[in-house]
Structure 1
Amino acid sequence: MPNWFKKQMTEAFLSKDLYQIKVLNQCWFFYRKKNSATVKQ
């Protein structure tokens, strides 16, 4: 997990920003899915 992403997730959790947590979560799973597809090929 990239450092910038960890920092944003930490800030979202500390501020209890549910919208930002959901958006970052979706981004993370999209990123993982995209990268795992390129690795398998």
Structure 2
Amino acid sequence: YESLLLLRLLPLLFTYIGLSDRLINKMVLEFLTSTQQLYPQILA
């Protein structure tokens, strides 16, 4: 019974991980772009 429950939950878990991965990637990209905009000010 538990294995059936796990099999049902796995796809949900993978989609959740996929969504969080996308969110993390987006956050990282936004962070990198914001720091790249700050770099010239720091170096200047």
TM over 0.5: yes
1-structure distance, mates of 2:35, 2:14: 31
For residues 1-41 of structure 1, the aligned pairs below 5 Å read: 16=10, 17-41=13-37
Amino acid in structure 2 at the alignment position of 1:29: N
2-structure distance, mates of 1:27, 1:34: 11
The count of residues paired between Structure 1 and Structure 2 equals 27
Identity %: 7
User: 1:26: how far off?
Assistant: 0.2
4+ residue stretches of structure 1 with deviation over 3 A?
none
The structure with more radius of gyration: 2
Structure with greater helix share of residues = 2
